[in-house]
Amino acid sequence: MSVTTQLAPPVASSWSIETRPSPCIRDFSPEASIVLVGSRGSGKRTLGFIGATHLGRRLITEDHYFQEATGTSRGVFLRQYGNQEFYRKNVEVLKQMLDNHRTGCIIECGMGSLSHSAQKVLAEYSMTHAVIYIARGSHRIKSLLRLSDEEAARLEIADLAHRNCSNLEYYNLYDPSGDGAETPPENGLGNVSSRLKYAKEDFSSFLDLLTGQGVVRSGFESPFSIAALPPECRSFTYALSLRLSTIPDLDLVELEAGADAVQLKIDTWSPDLQKLIGKHVATIRRNLRVPVIFQVENYAFEGTQLSMEEREHAYFLLMEWALRLAVEYIIVDLKYSSDRVVHLVRSSGRTKVIGQYLSRDESPWEWDEDARMIDYDWAKLLGCDMVRFVRSTSKAGDNDLVRAFVNRIESIPGHLPIVAYNLGEHGRPSLVANKIFTPVTHPIMNSTVSKSKIRQFLPTAAEAMQALYQSRILDPLHFYHLGASVFYSLSPAMHTAAYQVCGMSNDFQSLQVSSLEDIHRIIQDPNFGGAAITQPYKVQILSRIAAKSYHAKAIGAVNTLLPLRLFQNSNPLDGSTESLLRQANQRCKAGPIAAYYGDNTDFIGIMTCIRRNMSPRNVIQPSKTTGLVIGAGGMARAAIYAMIQLGCRKIFICNRTVENAENVARHFNSWASGLSSDGEIVRVLKSTNEAWPAGYRQPTMIVSCVPARSIGDHAPANFEMPMQWLGSPTGGVVVELAYLPLDTPLLKQIRRVREETKQAWVIVDGLEVLPEQAIAQFELMTGRKAPKRRMRLEVLQNYHRYEE
Ligand SMILES: O=C1C[C@@](O)(C(=O)O)C[C@@H](O)[C@@H]1O
């Protein structure tokens, strides 16, 4: 079996940097238009629509553009003018379409891109733009298009042309939530089902990755967010080691457990390896939502009878493949020829290259030799973004040498992030002390058989964390839920379960407090780790806070309080992003507290739930979409901010005490004065007797932030909507934040209306939002990736304890 011929035609191994074809540049300007190519049935148009909505871009479809440019449809043109003229016109129109939309668009290319000249045009465009090939399982395309075997085979061969003129690849996984969904019509708007939840999330994150949007967004907004720094700049991050061959036997959803990335090891060959990798990368992303570190193991070639030269060639073809999939990291063994490495680095786009020196044999090199520093410098010179040193040892003393070596590198100003540890049983202390992408396993993988012996020495992420607490590198901290009425909270259950899953020695308890002074007493303890703040203190606590996130400032309320400690060389009170990032990197250490930092995750919970449940028919249009918020407390503020973040610019607020609603409206109108042409984003509805204001569409997103049970002397709000306000012909999303009882009068009413009018109202109850805000809160408090599934499960399992 020749592996190389299956992957692509072999290339001459004598290539030097000069003679190699120019690298495929995948570094595009953030605004550059994005082209989608792929066969019929691959899902290009649906993805185009999702992408355009997500990035706020125009969707251009080739068919529609052809019709516009020529005045006839493709079919009619072909019949009228014949093949040759049709092909000529196709290329002309394609070129014109691409040239006229160089920025700010998502361009869907259909069959018109198959001819040789069209491919040339696309290949040229791919030098400056992302041209994404949309792949999909051939059996799915076959059944979707109802093709015979022969037709399917023909389509698959023709489709290769698309792959050849693209520089990136996206595997469009089956989305079970979208069964029955229709392809959007020609203008791209309208009927895509709101149910394509996974595809929406998958493709949106893929585009964030390509455009760099995700990083830009989170960075300056909240320095304590784990997205504010890439994992290689944080302390003690874990990479779940996952071998390709074992994936079919695993339920990936079960693997969620505190890992910051998945290290995907290619350990085997199969005839359709490339497609398999694309599919598995997509599956990992969907199920675990962490970056992928791509690595090809040497033992993958065992039994293939490839020459060394062929192995090297195959190795680099796979690396190129990983770049096409835009994996976040690739590990490149620096034993291979440096011109190949340089070529790869030049093509890497936003993928970070980790240069590796690996030895599975003992004593090939020592940690304290000068040659290690030369190796490090060489990796840097080759353009690597990080360096990884790994070797076998049987001597415990080698672990101290690793530390000394890492210290040496870390003393170099502007040094590259470094991964360094010893393999095997004796190397475990160095593995646990390693700070970046420590490879870990997962309890459910213990039963899988390993070709490589190292697997059995890997700890789980929880074990690695526990070791850090045992050796006092990290400190157990106390966390609280503080408010006037906290007995019904599910927060302790969610946070405690998350500590357990991640191997953290913290505790979390609810305390009822009756004044800010009460709170102050609790949070002075050097082992205080953070608090979830609830009513009525979300706004009041602002007076005790030295620094707050961009969001908390905008909202004017805080639900997450964190300590700022007195650490050497850092002034916690200067409030600079840098000092806050330093605090964030040390948040698992106890120490005297000098001040407090405030953030807000309520808006994240609400925003996530609206986005997830909003149907594309109600896609947010700043000039048209309206939102309605009931209540005027801290949660109502978060709801308004969530709507603003989603792009809504016409928000109404309604509250029993009108004055409070007016205060909230004033706050946002002054904060957001630049966002709306008439300067007013939030307007007050004085009572439910008012008719819906003329000139505004009825709301398509409604969030109720009033309690459904009595609190102290306050009677429950029992809020119901005036029927006239529920007139949106396309329905919308109704988010109810109260969850005691779960079936509030408002939700009962919406169900009734839905039944009677058949309008598409989607209901989100309080138990859906609650874990989302807690997940974001846990990550702010600990810097660890939250075990989301487990936290959501805790809510469902514990809720019944409080039901009347
Ligand atoms: O409002 C809430 C709900 C909550 O107070 C609870 O009951 O668990 C927890 C807070 O973080 C959040 O802001």
Looking at ligand 1, which atom is closest to the CA of residue 559?
A: 13
Looking at ligand 1, which atom is closest to the CA of residue 534?
A: 5
Judge whether residue 520 has pLDDT over 90: yes
Looking at ligand 1, which atom is closest to the CA of residue 532?
A: 11
Judge whether residue 189 has pLDDT over 70: no
| Any atom of ligand 1 within 6 Å of the Cβ of 777 | yes
pLDDT of residue 310: 87
Comparison of pLDDT for 573 and 309, the residue scoring more: 309
Q: Which two tokens stand for residue 491?
A: 């927060």
What is the amino acid identity at position 154? R
- Which residues lie below 8 Å from residue 706, measured CB to CB, with a gap of 6+? 630, 631, 717, 719, 738
ipTM for this model:
0.91
Looking at ligand 1, which atom is closest to the CA of residue 494?
A: 8
pLDDT of residue 15: 31
SS3 state at 628: strand
pLDDT of residue 192: 46
pLDDT of residue 16: 31
Convert the pLDDT of each residue in 2-26 to its tens digit: 433 344 433 333 333 333 455 677 8
pLDDT of residue 18: 33
- Which residues lie below 8 Å from residue 701, measured CB to CB, with a gap of 6+? 610, 614, 618, 625, 627, 628, 643, 646, 648, 732, 733, 735
pTM score, whole prediction: 0.88
Q: How far apart are CA 362 and CA 394, in angstroms?
A: 8
| Any atom of ligand 1 within 6 Å of the Cβ of 602 | yes
SS3 state at 283: helix
Q: Whose CA is nearest to atom 7 of ligand 1?
A: 489
Q: Are 750 and 529 in contact (CB under 8 A)?
A: no
Distance 560 CA to ligand 1 centre (A): 9
Lowest-confidence region among 21-25, 51-55, 735-739: 21-25
| Any atom of ligand 1 within 6 Å of the Cβ of 268 | no
Beta 560-565 vs 593-599: how paired, if at all?
A: antiparallel
Give, for ligand 1, the residue of 482, 485, 489, 541 to mutate: max count of ligand atoms closer than 8 Å to Cβ.
Answer: 489
Task: Report the alpha-carbon angle 778-780-784, nearest 5.
Answer: 65
Nearest to 126 by CA among 25, 20, 30: 25
pLDDT of residue 712: 55
Looking at ligand 1, which atom is closest to the CA of residue 488?
A: 7
Q: Which two tokens stand for residue 137?
A: 């399982």
- Taking the CB of residue 4, how many other CB atoms lie within 10 A of it? 18
Q: What is the mean pLDDT of residues 334-352?
A: 94
| Any atom of ligand 1 within 6 Å of the Cβ of 532 | yes
pLDDT of residue 2: 40
| Any atom of ligand 1 within 6 Å of the Cβ of 636 | no
Across the strands, what pairs with 735? 703, 764
Alpha carbon separation from 528 to 522, 574, 775, 789 (Å, rounded): 8, 21, 19, 26
SS3 state at 19: coil
Q: What DSSP state is assigned to residue 457?
A: G
Nearest to 726 by CA among 689, 690, 762, 761: 761
Distance 773 CA to ligand 1 centre (A): 8
Q: Whose CA is nearest to atom 6 of ligand 1?
A: 489
Lowest-confidence region among 172-181, 252-261, 285-294, 794-803: 172-181
| Any atom of ligand 1 within 6 Å of the Cβ of 618 | no
The most confident of 197-201, 337-341, 425-429, 709-713, by mean pLDDT: 337-341
Convert the pLDDT of each residue in 85-110 to its tens digit: 998 999 999 999 999 999 999 999 97
Judge whether residue 51 has pLDDT over 70: yes
767-772: Cβ within 8 A, 24+ apart: 767/739, 767/742, 767/795, 767/796, 767/799, 768/609, 769/605, 769/606, 769/609, 769/735, 769/737, 770/490, 770/605, 770/739, 770/795, 771/494, 771/605, 771/795, 772/604, 772/605, 772/608, 772/609
Give, for ligand 1, the residue of 559, 604, 792 to mutate: max count of ligand atoms closer than 8 Å to Cβ.
Answer: 559
Q: How far apart are CA 130 and CA 125, in angstroms?
A: 8
Alpha carbon separation from 302 to 3, 37, 190, 299, 360 (Å, rounded): 12, 36, 52, 5, 16
Comparison of pLDDT for 469 and 257, the residue scoring more: 469
Beta 418-423 vs 386-392: how paired, if at all?
A: parallel
| Helix 461-470 vs helix 491-502: crossing angle, to nearest 10 | 90
Q: Are 438 and 454 in contact (CB under 8 A)?
A: no
pLDDT of residue 535: 86
Beta 130-135 vs 105-108: how paired, if at all?
A: unpaired
Q: What DSSP state is assigned to residue 44?
A: H
Q: Are 225 and 218 in contact (CB under 8 A)?
A: yes
Q: Report the percentage of the chain scoring pLDDT > 90.
A: 63
Lowest-confidence region among 115-119, 385-389, 630-634, 788-792: 115-119
- Which residues lie below 8 Å from residue 189, measured CB to CB, with a gap of 6+? 49, 616, 619
Q: How far apart are CA 526 and CA 524, in angstroms?
A: 6
If pLDDT is split at 50, 70 and 90, which confidence band does 218 have? low
Q: How far apart are CA 234 and CA 224, in angstroms?
A: 11
Judge whether residue 517 has pLDDT over 80: yes
- CB-count exposure of residue 518 (10 Å: 0-12, 13-18, 19+): middle
Q: How far apart are CA 316 and CA 13, in angstroms?
A: 11
The most confident of 37-51, 112-126, 522-536, by mean pLDDT: 522-536
Query: For the chain, which domains are there?
Result: 34-204 (3.40.50.300), 237-456 (3.20.20.70), 478-603+773-802 (3.40.50.10860), 616-759 (3.40.50.720)
pLDDT of residue 713: 57
Per DSSP (E only), the strands in 427-523 are 438-440, 478-483, 507-512
Q: How far apart are CA 753 and CA 650, in angstroms?
A: 24
| Any atom of ligand 1 within 6 Å of the Cβ of 510 | no
Judge whether residue 486 has pLDDT over 80: yes
Judge whether residue 185 has pLDDT over 50: no
Nearest to 111 by CA among 171, 40, 34: 40
| Any atom of ligand 1 within 6 Å of the Cβ of 599 | no
Alpha carbon separation from 11 to 261, 295, 331, 336, 631 (Å, rounded): 33, 22, 22, 16, 67
Distance 510 CA to ligand 1 centre (A): 10
Task: Name the average pLDDT for the chain.
Answer: 88
First to last CA, the chain: 68
- Which residues lie below 8 Å from residue 496, measured CB to CB, with a gap of 6+? 507, 508
| Any atom of ligand 1 within 6 Å of the Cβ of 559 | yes
Beta 34-37 vs 130-135: how paired, if at all?
A: parallel
Dihedral pair phi/psi, residue 340, rounded to 5°: -65, -40
Distance 490 CA to ligand 1 centre (A): 8
Distance 481 CA to ligand 1 centre (A): 8
- Taking the CB of residue 429, how many other CB atoms lie within 10 A of it? 18
Judge whether residue 346 has pLDDT over 90: yes
- CB-count exposure of residue 722 (10 Å: 0-12, 13-18, 19+): middle
Q: Are 642 and 610 in contact (CB under 8 A)?
A: yes
Q: Report the percentage of the chain scoring pLDDT > 70.
A: 90
| Any atom of ligand 1 within 6 Å of the Cβ of 489 | yes
Looking at ligand 1, which atom is closest to the CA of residue 538?
A: 13
Q: What DSSP state is assigned to residue 22?
A: P
pLDDT of residue 447: 59
Task: Report the alpha-carbon angle 257-735-479, nearest 5.
Answer: 40
SS3 state at 281: helix
| Any atom of ligand 1 within 6 Å of the Cβ of 773 | yes
If pLDDT is split at 50, 70 and 90, which confidence band does 446 have? low
| Helix 149-164 vs helix 116-125: crossing angle, to nearest 10 | 40
Convert the pLDDT of each residue in 535-594 to its tens digit: 899 999 999 999 999 999 999 999 999 999 998 766 777 778 888 888 999 999 999 999
